[in-house]
Amino acid sequence: MSSPTLNALVHTMRYEADGIVSVEFRPASPDVDFPAFEAGSHIDLHLPNGLVRSYSLCNPSSDRQRYVVGVLNDRKSRGGSRYVHQQLRVGMTLPISAPRNNFKLEEGAERSVLVAGGIGVTPIWCMLQRLVAIGKPVEILYCARTRKEAAFCESIGALAAEKGVQLTWHFDDEKGAPPNLVELLAGKGADSHYYCCGPTPMLDSFEKACEQLGFPHAHIERFAAVHVEAPAATATYIVECAKSGKSVEVPPGKSILDSLIDAGLNPDHSCKEGVCGACETRVIEAGEIDHRDGILTKAEQAANKTIMICVSGCKRGPLVLDI
Residue 269 maps to a domain: yes
Residue 106 maps to a domain: no
For 211, list phi and psi in degrees, rounded to 5.
Answer: -65, -45
Band of the pLDDT at 315, cuts 50, 70, 90? confident
Question: For the domain that residue 75 is a member of, what is the CATH number?
Answer: 2.40.30.10
Whether 193 and 111 have beta carbons less than 8 Å apart is answered as yes
Eight-state DSSP code of residue 147? G
Mean pLDDT for the chain overall: 92
Asked if pLDDT for residue 12 goes beyond 90, the answer is yes
Asked if pLDDT for residue 47 goes beyond 80, the answer is yes
More confident call, 239 vs 74? 239
Residue 230 maps to a domain: no
Same domain, 121 and 212: yes
> Span 65-77, mean pLDDT?
92
Same domain, 118 and 214: yes
Same domain, 199 and 159: yes
> Span 160-170, mean pLDDT?
98
> Span 90-98, mean pLDDT?
96
Residue 231 maps to a domain: no
Same domain, 252 and 280: yes
Same domain, 282 and 317: yes
pLDDT of residue 275: 84
Same domain, 86 and 118: no
> Span 254-267, mean pLDDT?
93
Total of domains in the chain: 3
pLDDT tens for 125-164 read: 999 999 999 999 999 999 999 999 999 999 999 999 999 9
pLDDT tens for 209-241 read: 999 999 999 999 987 666 555 554 568 899 999
Same domain, 28 and 92: yes
Same domain, 274 and 198: no
Question: For the domain that residue 144 is a member of, what is the CATH number?
Answer: 3.40.50.80
Residue 176 maps to a domain: yes
Residue 229 maps to a domain: no
Query: For a pLDDT cut of 70, what percent of the chain falls above it?
Result: 96
Could you give the CA distance from residue 321 to residue 307 in angstroms, rounded to a whole number?
9
How does 256-292 read in b/e, with b if 16+ C-beta sit within 10 Å? Answer: bbebbeeeebebbbbbbbbbbbbbbbebbebeebbbb
Same domain, 191 and 215: yes
Which of 26-35, 189-198, 283-292 has the highest mean predicted lDDT (pLDDT)? 189-198
Q: Which of 157, 188, 221 is the last residue of a domain?
A: 221
Same domain, 80 and 46: yes
Q: Which of 178, 195, 221 is the last residue of a domain?
A: 221
Same domain, 182 and 274: no
Asked if pLDDT for residue 270 goes beyond 90, the answer is no
Asked if pLDDT for residue 1 goes beyond 50, the answer is no
> Span 195-221, mean pLDDT?
95
Same domain, 127 and 89: no
Give DSSP secondary structure letters for 108-146: T-S-EEEEEEGGGHHHHHHHHHHHHHTT--EEEEEEESS
Could you give the CA distance from residue 78 to residue 46 in angstroms, rounded to a whole number?
14
Residue 47 maps to a domain: yes
Residue 107 maps to a domain: no
Question: For the domain that residue 255 is a member of, what is the CATH number?
Answer: 3.10.20.30
CA-based R_g, the chain, Å: 20
> Span 305-312, mean pLDDT?
94
Domain enclosing residue 18, as ranges: 5-97
Cis peptide bond N-terminal to 267, omega within 30: no
Which of 123-127, 199-203, 297-301 has the highest mean predicted lDDT (pLDDT)? 123-127
First to last CA, the chain: 14
